[in-house]
Amino acid sequence: MPAVLIEDVHKSYGKLEVLKGVSLSVETGQVVALIGRSGSGKSTMLRCINGLEAFQSGRIEVAGHVVDQDPKRLRALRKDVGIVFQSYNLFPHLTVGQNIMLSPRITKNVPQAEALALAKDVLAQVGLSDKFDSYPDNLSGGQQQRVAIARSLAMQPKVMLFDEVTSALDPELTGEVLLVMEKLAKGGMTMILVTHEMNFARNVANTTVFMHQGKIWEQGPSRELFAAPQTPELQGFVKAGAQG
- 32 close to 26: Cβ distance less than 8 angstroms: yes
Confidence of residue 243 (pLDDT cuts 50, 70, 90): very low
Give the domain extent around 35: 4-243
- Non-local CB neighbours of 190 within 8 Å, separated by 6+ positions: 3, 4, 26, 27, 28, 29, 30, 31, 158, 159, 160
Mean pLDDT for all residues in the chain:
93
- 181 close to 162: Cβ distance less than 8 angstroms: yes
Instruction: Indicate the number of domains in the chain.
Output: 1
Residue 244 has pLDDT above 60, yes or no: no
What pLDDT, in 10s, does the model give residues 161-199? 999 999 888 888 889 999 999 999 999 999 999 999 999
- Stretch 3-21: mean pLDDT, rounded? 96
Q: Report the share of the chain in percent with pLDDT over 90.
A: 86
What pLDDT, in 10s, does the model give residues 190-232? 999 999 999 999 999 999 999 999 999 999 999 999 999 999 9
**Is the alpha carbon torsion for 242, 167, 160, 137 positive or negative?**
positive
Length of the chain: 244
Residue 242 has pLDDT above 60, yes or no: no
Residue 60 has pLDDT above 60, yes or no: yes
Domain CATH for 74:
3.40.50.300
**Alpha helix (H) ranges present in the chain?**
42-49, 71-80, 96-107, 112-125, 141-153, 171-186, 198-204, 222-227, 232-243
